[in-house]
Structure 1
Amino acid sequence: MVQRPAAVAAVKAVHTLAWFSIEACVVYVLVAGLAGRTDKRVGVAAAVVAGESLVFAGNGFRCPLTGLAERYGAGNGSVTDIYLPKWFAHNLPAIHVPLLMLMVYLHARNLRRGLLRSL
């Protein structure tokens, strides 16, 4: 394997930007759910989160960019392609599952309340 530090850095930078964008969607969906808002913008943000979750699950619960970073010379290990503290990066799936469940609960509650109000 050829070591390409610039390519590894580029993959890590792109992945980090994507991660921050997805996390912004997670925060938005959570805050909107807590505020009792379920609208089209929440739907778009939720679609981004769901899409990312499906890609992650479909790739065997491993980020597809990790393999790319490793091909360019990044070391093996969990989430080698992101600039986050190692303990946090390693525990992202365990952190996100309860958050995803909370998002589903909050928006199901909001939709149910809206439906009941319209009756």
Structure 2
Amino acid sequence: MDRDRMALMAVKSFHTLAWFLIEACMVYLVYAGIRGRTDRRAGVAASVVAGETLIFAAYGFHCPLTAVARKLGDETGSVTDIYLPKWFARNLPAIHVPLILLAVALHRRNFLAARARGQTVLLTGRAAR
């Protein structure tokens, strides 16, 4: 196997791991929001998701690894084509954006409910008076 092909496999593997981490954070945000847990872990997960979203937006709503994949010989520049099903990879933004909106709505609800009870939600996850 030549060097560019191995590097392309490494880029695609890295992308798959990064995608899994980001989506795990997204799932945790939705779960924590449903359970009323707006805490430090939710803040860390939100930071990961927000960082990924900002990077994606800064690159014109394309993965920044696309250019790297093209330079390494992938005709399409796709970094998801061998590790995620094509239909899923093609629809990631359409799946991800509603989840972000749901998580924001759930955590907003949690903050407003805590405020209505006269509590301050601390980053530890406990409510303080």
Report TM bin, short chain.
over 0.9
Q: Which residue of 2 aligns with 1:33?
A: 33
Contact 1:3–1:72 (Cα < 8 Å) also in 2: no
Q: Which residue of 2 aligns with 1:16?
A: 16
Q: From the CA coordinates, give the structure whose radius of gyration is larger.
A: 2
Contact 1:36–1:110 (Cα < 8 Å) also in 2: yes
Q: Which residue of 1 aligns with 2:123?
A: none
Contact 1:3–1:73 (Cα < 8 Å) also in 2: no
Q: Percent identity?
A: 58
TM-score, length-normalised on structure 2?
Answer: 0.85
Q: Which residue of 2 aligns with 1:110?
A: 110
- Structure 1 gap ranges (5+): none
TM-score, length-normalised on structure 1?
Answer: 0.92
Q: What residue identity is the alignment partner of 2:57?
A: A
Q: What residue identity is the alignment partner of 1:96?
A: H
2:102, 2:24 → 1: CA distance? 16
Q: Which residue of 2 aligns with 1:84?
A: 84
Equivalenced residue count is 116
1:66, 1:29 → 2: CA distance? 27
Q: Which residue of 2 aligns with 1:56?
A: 56
Q: What residue identity is the alignment partner of 1:81?
A: V
Q: What residue identity is the alignment partner of 2:75?
A: G
1:47, 1:62 → 2: CA distance? 20
Post-superposition offset of 1:118: 1.6
Q: What residue identity is the alignment partner of 1:99?
A: L
2:65, 2:43 → 1: CA distance? 26
Does residue 1:75 correspond to 2:75, yes or no?
yes
- Structure number with the higher helix fraction is 1
Q: CA RMSD in A?
A: 1.5
Post-superposition offset of 1:40: 1.1
- Structure 2 gap ranges (5+): 120-129
1:31, 1:75 → 2: CA distance? 38
Post-superposition offset of 1:4: 1.8
